[in-house]
Amino acid sequence: MFSIRKFLGHDEKFFDLLEASAQQADSSVHHLVALLAKLEHHDSLQSMEEFVDSRRKDKQITQELTEQLCKTFVTPLEREDIQALAAALYKIPKTVEKIGERILICPGDLRAEHFEKHVQLLDKAAEEVLSMVKELRKGTDAARTREQNARLQTIEGDADELELDLLRDLYQGDYDAKQIIFLRDIYSLLEKVIDRCRDAGNIILQIVLKYA
């Protein structure tokens, strides 16, 4: 395993900030899981405050990364890679927030089982991204990173198939026009946020392969 820190120094702040960003992405998914659990049990639904908070914190982290890049002469990863990964991570809570917004617009037309499998896949994807980001601090283990990224690719492929099944049920089932439009929008966003996780994983793999 090649150690990035030994080669380029021991500045931890960029790893700290990237991990914090990945953590906010993962937390936003947990907020979505909690929201759907309340929907399933017919509890009073939470506001968007938790979703907004995760997205705002991630935006602040991204801004701090940009500032630190301007102030730091030698960085543990290439500047372009840090910026690309930070941007990819920020898109995760930003997209999850949109899903929460859609659900709260018209919760009466939704059932948790509409999204249960999709959200399970999303939860796995976000956890995998968080794990991959944490591994960057330890070094560049190309074999392990390939395995992690392969799992992300599998999750994304499963999500594609699931979306197709859900759309098939939607168009062939007994839904009114409003429900079709509403559910299709949420299915599309769920697929998009899993794609965001895959994109982050691809960037991490590219970073690791540069130093492996």
Q: What is the pLDDT of residues 88-112, one digit of tens each?
A: 999 999 999 999 888 888 766 667 6
Over residues 155-162, the mean pLDDT reads: 96
Distances (CA, A) of 75 to 5, 8, 79, 95, 133: 10, 7, 7, 29, 16
User: What is the rounded distance in angstroms from the CA atom of residue 92 to the CA atom of residue 179?
Assistant: 25
Distances (CA, A) of 145 to 47, 76, 128: 37, 18, 10
CATH superfamily of 10-211: Phosphate transport system protein phou homolog 2; domain 2 (1.20.58.220)
Q: Output 68 or 2, whichever has higher pLDDT.
A: 68
In which band, very low, low, confident or very high, does the pLDDT at 2 lie, cut at 50, 70 and 90?
Answer: very low
Contacts of 53 (CB under 8 A, 6+ apart): none
CB 190 within 8 A of CB 118: yes
Distances (CA, A) of 126 to 1, 21, 91, 174, 187: 25, 11, 12, 33, 17
pTM of the model: 0.87
Q: Each residue of 34-48: pLDDT tens digit?
A: 888 877 766 655 567
Please give the share of the chain, as a percent, with pLDDT higher than 70. Answer: 88
